[in-house]
Structure 1
Amino acid sequence: MGVARRRVIAHGRVQGVFFRDATRREAERLGVAGWARNTSDGTVEAVFEGDHEAVEAMVGFVRGGPGHASVTQVDVSAEEPEGLEGFSVR
């Protein structure tokens, strides 16, 4: 299905629980590019770009909440791919 890009915002107990690092490891395992960062309102924002199925798997990973995270809501929006490479924690 080609390249997809999703921006996700995870709400709940998502900061200080290795959420971003676990997300980076999973993205690298699936070959998904992008980034994840903490925001000032206590959420984690992330962008995933790559193979459609792998990107959707990353959205599912965030919904499940890695490790000790407790995800209460995930906002997902589709965006135009930008050709990102690698995955970074910001």
Structure 2
Amino acid sequence: MKTIVKVILPVLAFTLASAAAVSTNEAKIKESKKTVLIQGYIQNPSAQNCDPVDEVDCVTTASTQACMTIEAIPKRVFDKDESNACNVSLYRVEN
């Protein structure tokens, strides 16, 4: 009986620790993929003259689709650079 406890108890502890580590890692991955709403701008009519749009769920990391406004005629949304011109491309968040 004592031998079984000496063998099973460490195995059980290792199993629980492994399960906790995996679930913690998955939570960190999900947290890192969350997006933050950012202020976007449209060029009106040039990159030096920017009009703000409502906060958009877009990122600066390149993806396949450009960030667009939600209007009848969508317009491309940009972020501002160091010179305060709206010419930094924004992209839609891909889930």
TM-score range normalised by the length of the shorter chain: under 0.3
* Higher strand proportion (structure 1 or 2): 1
Bigger-Rg structure (1/2) = 2
TM-score (normalizing by structure 2): 0.25
* Higher helix proportion (structure 1 or 2): 2
TM-score (normalizing by structure 1): 0.25
